[in-house]
Structure 1
Amino acid sequence: MTVSQTPSTPPTHTPTGVLRQLGRRKSISAMTAEAHTDAQTAQSGGLRRTFGVFQLTMISVGATLGTGILVILGEAVPVAGPAVWIAFVLAGITALLSAVSYAEMAGMVPVSGSSYSYSYATLGEGVAWVCGWCLVLEYAVSVAAVAVGAADYVNETLRVFGLELPASLTTGPGLADNPDGIINVSALVVVALATVLLMRGARESGVVNTILVFVKLGILVFFAIVAFTAFKAGNFAPLLPMGAAGVTAAASSVFFSYIGFDAASTAGEEAKNPRRDLPRAIIFSMLIVTSMYVLVAVTAIGARQWQWFEGAHAPLVQIVEEITGSNIAVLLFAVAAVLAIFSVVITVLYGQSRILLTMARDGMVPKIFGVVSQRTGTPLIGTLIVGGLVAITAAFIPLGELADATSIGTLFAFCLVNIAVIYLRFKRPDLDRSFKVPFGPVVPALGALACAFLMVNLGGRTWIVFAAWMAVGAVVYFTYSRRHSVVGQLSETDYQTTL
């Protein structure tokens, strides 16, 4: 296997002071030039530009659609009651406020680092590291959390044939409702298969993902039609049995289901026309995902009273089974649900590997994550490492803890992107923007505040996990990243020439 190392070797100059290095920025022109060079130089083994706006939209939809409805809905309904659809709307509005900021930044900084690169160009290395560390939490852990939910749908598929996985193989240890759990085999297999597919190449992964996106769009529309045949308006009364606090708490939790819309922004170096297509893909995907979530949530509540969802496993497939009484319908839905989860795992793992590639290029993480195979045009070794770690996490850690930890890291990263948009509007109004957030800095400011509000509504344990993750990140930065940072190691003269 022929490979090349994407990140350049850091200069040997003495590092600058801590505070000064934390504030050093990497210029947008340097980022785009670096990405262009890697893509065009034959010896670089760079990422290949194969995606148009349709494929980019499918990446974002694939990374997002299905997670909240297939996995989280059963946990959100007991918290919000019939108003769970309002929780999805609130979370969707919050995500949309940040999505338009992502769209503006993706048009200006068309590289693979997503919000990590945006922060590096605006708020400096220190904030960029925090953002990148949050993205590691967001992408890697969200993949594991989604994969955990695959076991329920695999079991629903097997039950059609009178079979079922042993309790020891459906969850990791320590789950109260399954004290016999040892390992989640379904999650392990789903992540392993997605990792192998991603290692084969971005084009192949994109084709498979597009097919799977249409499968899950079809199955969710099918569910809505079936559920509507048993629709009862009375199931929505009372609308707010848990009060407004229940809705906002559920909104904070189901925000997890919008994680992934930013996946297109990690494909900046594999898009044919990133400045034009990335903003479009992000907005299109948000409209598709929000519409489907609200449709399915409304029809699910209309078909069953909200108390029914308490403790329900794979609630959508159970509703289909109870209404149709058809094993064939249950089989098709359960299989499609597994495929939908597989689609999410593929695209989010894809995004994680590209973010780590960009961070490796900057010296923030070990160079091994930036090694790109000339044969496949993918960060082969980095994908294998990430996939292996995620597979282990999914196999042994329950869903709830993963979902909430992911939400807080994501919300924090989204806050930083909104702030970056505001910063550049005032600092660099001259920059060419292929998409501009409407109403100036007002919308990104609202996006940052909305993210902060949802963060506040997350539980105390989630904040403890987040604080611990940030503490580990600080140790990694000061013991490794600061000393290997390409920008941080530049001499003052060299640094000035990069601005």
Structure 2
Amino acid sequence: MILDRVKPLSAILEAVEKKGLPRTLGGFQLMLFGIGCVIGTGIFVLTAAGAQKAGPGLMLAFAIAGAVCIVAALCYSEVASMIPVAGSAYTYSYASMGEFLAWTVGWALIMEYAIAASAVSVGWSGYFSGTILHEFLGITLPPWLSAGPLALGGAEGGFINLPALVIALLVTWLLVIGTRESAVFNTILVIIKVTALTAFVVLTLPQVETAKFNPFLPAGVFGGFGSGVGAVGAAATIFFAYVGFDAVSTAAEETKNPQRNVPIGLVGSLLFCTVFYILVAAGAIGTIGGQPIMGPDGIPFPAGSEELARQCALPQYAGALVCSDEALAHVLRQVGFSTVGNMLGIAAFLALPSVILVLLFGQTRIFFVMSRDGLLPEGLSKVHPKWGTPYIVTIITGSLVALAAAFFPVGQLADISNAGTLYAFGMVALAAMVLRRREPDVQRAFRVPGLVIVGPLTIAGCLFLFLNLPIEAMLMLPVWSLVGAVIYFGYSRSRSHMAAGVVEVHEPEITELEPDIPGIADRGRD
């Protein structure tokens, strides 16, 4: 019963045939697009959390996460090239494995988007408090206004992360009234981010001391099931720094010679980002050190935990990388480049709100597609008569995002978001294999070479990283999925359009999904 109601692929592709896109992108253009989509939030806000989990082994963690992304990206490309419609992994699953599994993917994506937006809000708060308020205005927010409470893993004396709460609510308000970002503005933000990180690498690498990398793996490669530490545990967390590459896979329809250029764009952009991330990690750790603060049992204190917060409050850890809320700007200040560090902080301050906006906007896409299929109440996506935006779901989502940002630390939020992302990516790989067998004759602009190997590798890689998340993050996915299953069998299944025999696909016009964000892909983090 749970594997029934597979949406006919012909019905989904009918909408695509009405609006074919010209093939204009080459491999190099696709690679640049991928770099712009990927580089940003994770490297700005998760460097400290990653170092606390793995120490210098953070560099190995970036390589592990990048490798999983490469095989997942290839699977995404094949499915996206044959089903280039809104809904992403949710739609792919509906066309291959049926309604229930599609529901679980869509439900996981809803969690992923919301939690990721909360994580970025917390990351923005660190740069706002450290660079804008402290460095430029001489204002120091008290801990009870700049971090979540101790019971939820915040800093010493934390009560509420007020800047994170405010920025999440502000972005929600902008989405409700119908803000638009231009492609030019987005391009400027990408240039700012890449320039800032390049400056960081250029200034820090000459000052690297090899002694700072010893021991290289203080917590080992595997920290143990559910511990979330070690190089693999850090990889499971900083996987967040790569998400956005799947936006490149959706461009297969617009790519010249996709069989050649799609893998060049995907693998090239991910390899570039991986090397770039490793250089940034080397510069940060090799200059001021990045050894984790160990507990009495010889295992690093959990990132964002009460125990770590207490250690970071001690004088000897005042300048530690793992204790910083704005890691990269902090490193530059510590090595004598305060002005450049402040400029990098400003770059993050300017760029991160647009990421929050894209994540919240992307979630409205998922809600629209699921409500369009009858799986969620249509009232959730009711459009405001004046602003033309899905204001009800935007307000609900934005409020929950703001509350999570106010009380949880960035590392925990990223781990929970990654749990949903890894599930979705694994399901896309499964969808690629199912569709290759079930729909072998459907045209594919790109076919994964050796899918029989790449597909299982993707699923194994996603499962591998999932099992190395902290136990709390791992448990969040099945709990969230159980809630979703109750909703599906109690409400959605009986109201599904498929249950009523309605299979036609209406691909929404862009005006139905205001606000439009030209130049920014739905699933990008940047």
Q: TM-score, normalised by structure 1?
A: 0.82
**Aligned residue among 366, 389, 394 for 2:400:** 389
The yes-or-no answer on 1:116 pairing with 2:97 is no
Which of 458, 468, 486 does residue 479 from structure 2 map onto?
A: 468
Mapping of 1:49-88 within 5 angstroms? 64-88=38-62
Counterpart-to-counterpart distance in 1, 2:464 and 2:94: 25
Contact 2:119–2:405 (Cα < 8 Å) also in 1 = yes
Identify the match of residue 290 of structure 1 among 270, 274, 280: 274
How far is the alpha carbon of 1:416 from its aligned partner? 0.6
Q: Identity, % of aligned pairs?
A: 39
Counterpart residue number, 2:142: 166
Matched with 2:462 is 451
Aligned pairs (5 A) from 1:23-62: 23-34=4-15
Match of residue 243, structure 1, among 200, 220, 230: 220
Which one of 184, 200, 203 corresponds to residue 161 of structure 2? 184
The secondary structure found in structure 2 opposite 1:224 is helix
Tell me the residue number matched to 1:7: none
Deviates more, 1:195-204 or 1:83-92: 195-204
Summarize deviations over 1:365-413 as a string: whole Å, max 9, x none.
2224545679987655544443333223222333233222111111111
> How far apart are residue 63 of structure 1 and its match?
5.7
Of 121-130 and 405-414, deviating more is 405-414
- Which position in structure 2 is the counterpart of 1:322? 334
Of 450, 453, 461, 1:439 maps to 450
Q: Is the 8 A contact 2:3 2:98 kept in 1?
A: yes
Query: Closer, same or farther in 2 for the Cα pair 1:290/1:383, shift >3 Å?
Result: farther
Aligned-residue offset at 1:109: 0.8
For the pair 1:301 / 2:285, whether they are aligned, the reply is yes
Residue aligned with 2:356, SS: helix
Quick one: distance in 1 between partners of 2:257 and 2:160? 44
Query: How far did residue 256 of structure 1 move?
Result: 2.3
**In the alignment, which of 125, 129, 134 is matched to residue 108 of structure 2?**
134
1:483 alignment partner, one of 471, 480, 494: 494
Partners of 1:145 and 1:394 within 8 A in 2: yes
Instruction: Evaluate the alpha carbon distance shift between residue 283 and residue 25 of structure 1 in structure 2; reply closer, same or farther with a 3 A threshold.
Output: farther
1:434-457 Cα shifts (integer Å, max 9, x gaps): 112122321121111111111122
Higher helix share: 1
Counterpart for residue 220 of structure 1: 197
Alpha-carbon distance in 1 for matches of 2:492, 2:328? 45
Aligned to 2:181, the other structure's residue is in SS state: helix
- Name whichever of 54-63 and 350-359 sits farther off: 54-63
Work out whether residues 353 and 369 of structure 1, in 8 Å CA contact, stay in contact via their aligned partners in 2. no
CA displacement 1:20-66 (0-9 Å, x = unmatched) = x64211123312334677x89xxxxxxxx999869998886566422
For residues 154-197 of structure 1, what are the alpha-carbon distances to aligned partners after superposition, in whole Å with 9 as ceiling and x for unaligned? Answer: 12212223212232221233355535333322222333343455
Question: 2:175–2:357: 8 Å Cα contact kept in structure 1?
Answer: yes
Q: 1-side partners of 2:11 and 2:488: how far apart?
A: 22
Distance (whole Å) between structure 2 residues aligned to residue 486 and residue 443 of structure 1: 34
**Runs (5+) with no aligned partner, structure 2:** 223-229, 292-319, 506-526
Helix, strand or coil at the partner of 2:217: coil
Q: Deviations over 1:110-150 (max 9, x none)?
A: 11101001000001111101111111111111111121122
Structure 1 match to 2:375: 364
* CA 1:318–1:188: 2 relative to 1, 3 Å: same
- Cα offset, 1:476, TM superposition: 1.2
Letter in 1 for 2:350: L
The aligned amino acid for 2:89 is S
- Distance in 2 between residues matched to 1:186 and 1:53, nearest whole Å: 40
CA-to-partner distance for each residue in 1:283-307, whole Å, 9 max, x for gaps?
A: 5653453343222112222222222
Q: Is the 8 A contact 2:84 2:253 kept in 1?
A: no
Aligned counterpart for 1:313 among listed residues 325, 331, 337: 325
Q: AA paired with 1:169?
A: L
Aligned residue runs from structure 1 range 268-283, under 5 A? 273=254
CA distance change for structure 1 residues 376 and 64 in 2, over 3 Å: closer, same or farther? farther
**What residue in structure 1 maps to residue 359 of structure 2?**
348
For 1:62 and 1:448, how far apart are their aligned partners in 2? 26
Given that 2:331 and 2:341 are in contact with CA atoms closer than 8 Å, whether structure 1 keeps it comes out as no
Q: Deviations over 1:70-94 (max 9, x none)?
A: 2111111132221211101100110
Distance 2:256 2:364 in 1: 21
Name the structure 1 match of 2:64: 90
Rate the CA distance shift 1:369–1:275 in 2: closer, same or farther, 3 A: farther
Preserved contact between residue 55 and residue 217 of structure 2 (Cα < 8 Å): yes
DSSP 3-state at the match of 1:430 = coil
Distance 1:175-1:452 versus aligned 2 partners, 3 A rule: closer
| CA distance in structure 1 between the aligned counterparts of 2:405 and 2:13, rounded to whole angstroms | 35
Give yes or no for the alignment of 1:208 onto 2:185. Answer: yes
Alpha-carbon displacement from aligned partner over 1:292-347 (angstroms, at most 9, x marks no partner) = 32221122222222224332332211111122253x32321111112232232232
TM-score by length of 2: 0.79
Give the alignment of 1:371-450 within 5 angstroms.
371=382, 379=390, 381-450=392-461
Q: Which moved more, 1:117-126 or 1:58-67?
A: 58-67
Partner Cα separation in structure 2 for residue 260 and residue 34 of structure 1 = 25
8 A contact 2:154–2:408 mirrored in 1 = no
Distance 1:287 1:198 in 2: 34
Give the Cα–Cα distance (whole angstroms) in 2 for the partners of residues 350 and 437 of structure 1.
30
